[in-house]
Amino acid sequence: MLTYQVKIKINESVEKDWLEWMKTKHVPDVIGTGLVKSFQILKPDSVEYLYLFHYHFENRDDFETYQRDFAPAMKKHPAKAFPNQFTAEREIFQWI
């Protein structure tokens, strides 16, 4: 299993609308690729306006297919809906 983490720092002024949009539009679109086995949305208690999205992939092949075939368009969705309102960092974790 692999976990693809997207860490997002969102602008306070759009946080509520952005989170609703992420839950009802963006995350379902990512899940709809059929490559994501499960996901989590986490919010650290100690940091305001920060969210962690964990997308779990069965194997590296599924993740690489997602990266190649879907990720470029998926990365554009939030930037188009909420321009200049967030920063995103991405990291991959391998389950041990």
Q: What is the CATH number of the domain that holds 17?
A: 3.30.70.100
Please tell me the total count of domains within the chain.
1
* pLDDT by position in tens, the chain (length 96): 999 999 999 999 999 999 999 999 999 999 999 999 999 999 999 899 999 999 999 999 999 999 999 999 999 989 999 999 999 999 999 999
Q: Scanning the structure block, which residue is given the tokens 């720092």?
A: 9
For residue 8, the number of C-alpha atoms closer than 13 Å in the C-beta half-sphere is 23
pLDDT of 6: 97
pLDDT of 77: 87
pLDDT of 43: 96
**Can you name the residues that pair with 44 across neighbouring β-strands?**
none
Q: Which domain holds residue 8?
A: 2-94
